[in-house]
Amino acid sequence: MTVRERLREKISAAFYRHGLLCASYPVPIILFTSASILACCYPLLRLPLPGTGPVEFTTRVRDYTVPSHEPQGDLGERPDWYRGPPVAYIQPVLVKAAVSPWDSTLVPVDVFRSPLGRVFSLLEEIRNHVHDDGSGVRSLEALCLQVTDLLPGLRRMRRVLPEHGCLLVSPGNYWQNQRELFDSDPDLLKTVHQHEPKGLHTSATLRDLLFGVPVKHTGVSLYSRKRVVTYTITMVLGSYDARFLSSLRARLRQLHPSVNCSLREDHMVHVHFKEEIGMAELIPLVTTYIILFAYIYFSTRKIDMVKSKWGLALAAVVTVLSSLLMSVGLCTLFGLTPTLNGGEIFPYLVVVIGLENVLVLTKSVVSTPVDLEVKLRIAQGLSNESWSIMKNMATELCIILIGYFTLVPAIQEFCLFAVVGLVSDFFLQMFFFTTVLSIDIRRMELADLNRRLPAEAGMPLPKPGPLRPREAPPPPRPSPHTITLQTPAFRNLRLPKRLRVVYFLARTRLAQRFIMVGTVIWIGILAYTDPAGLRTYLAAQVSEQSPLGEGGAGGLPPHLGVAPVFPGPGGDPASTLSVLPAPAEPTPLPENQSQGRHGAPREGVPHQAPPLVPQISWGVEDEEGWRKLSFRHWPSLFSYYNITLAKRYISILPVIPITLHLSPREAIETRHPQDTRHPPPPSLKTNDLPADLTLYKVAALGLAAGVLLVLLLFCLYRVLCSRNYGQNGVAHGRRRHGDLPCDDYGYSPPISEISPLLLRGHSMDIECLASDGMLLASCCLAGQIRVWDTQTGDCLTVIPKHGLRRSSSSGCWEQRDGWDAVGVAEPENLGGGTEPGGGVFDEDEGYPLRRRTTPRPALFENQPDLTPLIDTNFDSQPPSHLLLTPPRDGFDFGGLVEKAYLEHEPPSLGLTASYPSSSPLSGPPPQRRRSLGYIQPPAPQGQGTPDWESAVWAMELRGNLIAAGRSNGKLELWDAGEGSLRCSNEDGVSGITALAFLNNRLVAARLDGSLDFFTVDINKPLGLLQYRGPPGRSNIPPSPCYSSEDVISCQLTRSVQCAHQKPITVLRAAAGRVVTGSQDHTVRVYRLEDSCCLFTLQGHSGGITAIYIDQTMVLASGGQDGAICLWDVLTGSRVSHVYGHRGDVTSLVCTTSCVISSGLDDLICIWDRSTGIKLYSIQQEVGCGASLGVISESLLVTGGQGCVSFWDLNFGDLLQTVYLGQSSDGQGVRQLVVLNNAAIVCDFGSELSLVYVPAVLEKLD
Partner 1 sequence: MPRLEEHCWSRSCASRVESKNLSAGNWVASRAEEMMSIVTTVLSNAYGSLHSVRAANLIRRGLVLFTVGVVLALVLNLLQLQRNVTLFPEEVMATLFSSAWWIPPCCGTAAAVVGLLYPCIDSHLGEPHKFKREWASVMRCIAVFVGINHASAKLHFANNAQLSLTLAALSLGLWWMFDRSRSGFGLGIGTAFLATVITQLLVYNGVYQYTYPDFLYVRSWLPCIFFSGGVTVGNIGRQLAMGGVEKLHND
Residue pair 765/1248 in contact (Cβ under 8 Å)? The answer is no
Q: Is 334 an interacting residue with respect to partner 1 (CB under 8 A)?
A: no
- Window 350 to 379, contacts with partner 1 (CB under 8 A): 351, 354-355
Nearer to partner 1, 38 or 1173 (CB): 1173
Q: Confirm if 1072 and 1088 have CB atoms less than 8 A apart.
A: yes
Q: Determine the Cα–Cα distance for residues 1007 and 1010; give it in Å rounded to an integer.
A: 7
- Nearest distance, CB of residue 599 and partner 1, angstroms: 45
CB of 279 to partner 1, least distance (A): 4
Q: Of 637-645, 817-825, 857-865, 1074-1082, which segment contacts partner 1 by CB under 8 A?
A: 637-645
Q: Which of 176, 178, 203, 545 binds partner 1 (CB under 8 A)?
A: 203
Question: Looking at 133-141, 165-173, 290-298, 601-609, which segment touches partner 1 (CB under 8 A)?
Answer: 290-298
Distance CA 742, CA 63 (A): 77
Instruction: Pick out residues in 294-333 that bind partner 1 (CB under 8 A).
Output: 294-295, 298-299, 301-302
Nearest to residue 983, comparing CAs of 958, 962, 1007? 962
CA distance 48 to 337: 12
Among 48, 71, 165, 284, binds partner 1 (CB under 8 A): 284
Rounded Cα–Cα distance for residues 1150 and 1125 (Å): 12
Count the residues of the shown chain that bind partner 1, applying the rule CB under 8 A: 47
Nearer CB in complex with partner 1: 355/1104: 355
Closest alpha carbon to 838 in 986, 1023, 690: 986
- Determine the interface stretch with partner 1 among 82-90, 174-182, 343-351, 559-567 (rule: CB under 8 A): 343-351
Which residue, 197, 215, 202, is CA-closest to 157? 197
Provide the mask over 596-635, with x wherever binding to partner 1 is found by CB under 8 A and - wherever it is not. ---------------------------------------x
CA distance 114 to 97: 9
Does 421 help bind partner 1 (rule: CB under 8 A)?
no
Contacts of 198 (CB under 8 A, 6+ apart): none
Is position 647 an interface residue for partner 1 (rule: CB under 8 A)?
Answer: no
58 phi/psi in degrees, rounded to 5: -110, 135
- The interaxial angle of helices 342-353 and 309-333, nearest 10 deg, is 120
> Which DSSP helix (H) or strand (E) runs through 360?
helix 356-366
CA proximity to 1183, closest of 467, 261, 312: 467
User: Is position 1101 an interface residue for partner 1 (rule: CB under 8 A)?
Assistant: no
Q: Does 1140 bind partner 1 (CB under 8 A)?
A: no
Cβ 280 to partner 1, closest distance in Å?
4
1179 binds partner 1 (CB under 8 A): no
- 284/857 with CB nearer partner 1: 284
- From 280-288, 528-536, 933-941, 1071-1079, span contacting partner 1 (CB under 8 A): 280-288
Give the residue with the Cβ less far from partner 1, 284 or 924.
284
Rounded-to-integer distance, Cα 513 and Cα 504, Å: 13
Q: Which of 3, 280, 730, 1058 binds partner 1 (CB under 8 A)?
A: 280
Residue number with CB closer to partner 1 (646 or 684): 646
**Measuring CA to CA, how many Å separate 789 from each of 60, 1197, 1243?**
105, 21, 15
Of 396 and 987, the one with the shorter C-beta distance to partner 1 is 396
Taking alpha carbons only, the member of 151, 147, 177 closest to residue 164 is 147
Angle made by CA atoms 681, 684, 685, in degrees to the nearest 5:
120
As measured in angstroms, the least distance from the Cβ of 8 to partner 1 is: 23
* Binding test (CB under 8 A) with partner 1, winner from 242, 291, 333, 453: 291
Q: Is 402 in the site for partner 1 (CB under 8 A)?
A: yes
CA distances from 847 to 770, 819, 821, 850 (A): 21, 20, 16, 9
Specify whether the CB–CB gap between 1232 and 1248 falls below 8 A. Answer: no
Contacting range for partner 1; rule: CB under 8 A; set: 530-538, 555-563, 753-761, 1172-1180 = 1172-1180
CA distance 12 to 18: 10
> Between residues 352 and 430, which has the closer beta carbon with respect to partner 1?
352
Residues 248-277 that bind partner 1 (CB under 8 A): 276
- The nearer residue to partner 1, 399 or 701, going by C-beta atoms, is 399
Closest contact distance (angstroms) between CB of 725 and partner 1 is 22
520 binds partner 1 (CB under 8 A): no
Q: How far apart are CA 881 and CA 409, in angstroms?
A: 90
Contact 1010, 1056 (CB under 8 A): yes
In whole angstroms, the minimum distance from the beta carbon of 295 to partner 1 comes to 4
Q: What's the min distance (Å) between Cβ of 495 and partner 1?
A: 9
Closest CB to partner 1 among 1133 and 1171? 1171
| Binding flags for partner 1, 1195-1214, as an x/- string (CB under 8 A) | ---------------xx---
Q: How far apart are the first and last CA of the chain?
A: 58
Angle formed by the axes of helices 356-366 and 434-457, nearest 10°: 30
Cα separation, 645 vs 638, whole angstroms: 7
511 neighbors 712 (Cβ within 8 angstroms): no
- The gap from C-alpha 1131 to its chain's centroid, in whole angstroms, comes to 43
Of 473-512, binders to partner 1 (CB under 8 A) are 494, 497, 500
Whole-number minimum distance, CB 281 to partner 1, in Å? 6
3-state secondary structure 627-671: HHCCCCHHHHHHHCCCCCCECCEEEECCCEEEEEEECHHHHHHCC
Nearest residue (CB) to partner 1, 287 versus 807: 287
Compute the distance between CA of residue 670 and CA of residue 384 in angstroms, rounded to an integer. Answer: 92
Only segment of 282-290, 318-326, 584-592, 1225-1233 that touches partner 1 (CB under 8 A): 282-290
Q: Which is nearer to partner 1, 355 or 1160 (CB)?
A: 355
Whether the link from the prior residue into 558 is cis, omega within 30° of 0, is no
Please select the residue that binds partner 1; options are 639, 663, 810, 1043, rule is CB under 8 A. Answer: 639
User: How many residues in the chain?
Assistant: 1261
Report the nearest approach of partner 1 to the CB of residue 353 (Å). 11
Considering the complex, what minimum distance in angstroms separates the CB of residue 491 from partner 1? 8
* Closest distance of CB 522 from partner 1, Å: 17
Cβ distance to partner 1 smaller for residue 146 or 287 = 287
1153 is an interface residue for partner 1 by CB under 8 A: no
Comparing C-alpha atoms, which of 959, 961, 958 is closest to residue 1028? 959
Looking at the Cβ atoms of 351 and 390, the one nearer to partner 1 is 351
Specify the residue, 194 or 642, whose C-beta has the smaller distance to partner 1: 642
The residue (of 355 and 992) whose beta carbon lies closer to partner 1 is 355
Query: CA–CA separation, 446 vs 665, rounded Å?
Result: 94
Asked if 973 touches partner 1 (CB under 8 A), the answer is no
Examine residue 406 and tell whether it contacts partner 1 (CB under 8 A).
yes
Rule CB under 8 A: which of 380-399 touch partner 1?
Answer: 399
CA distance 455 to 192: 83
C-alpha 1104/C-alpha 1101 separation (Å) is: 9
Does residue 1256 contact residue 1195 with C-beta atoms inside 8 Å? yes
Q: Which residues bind partner 1 (CB under 8 A)?
A: 151, 153, 203, 276, 278-281, 283-284, 287-288, 291-292, 294-295, 298-299, 301-302, 344, 347-348, 351, 354-355, 399, 402, 406-408, 410-411, 494, 497, 500, 635-636, 639, 642, 644, 1171, 1173, 1175-1176, 1210-1211
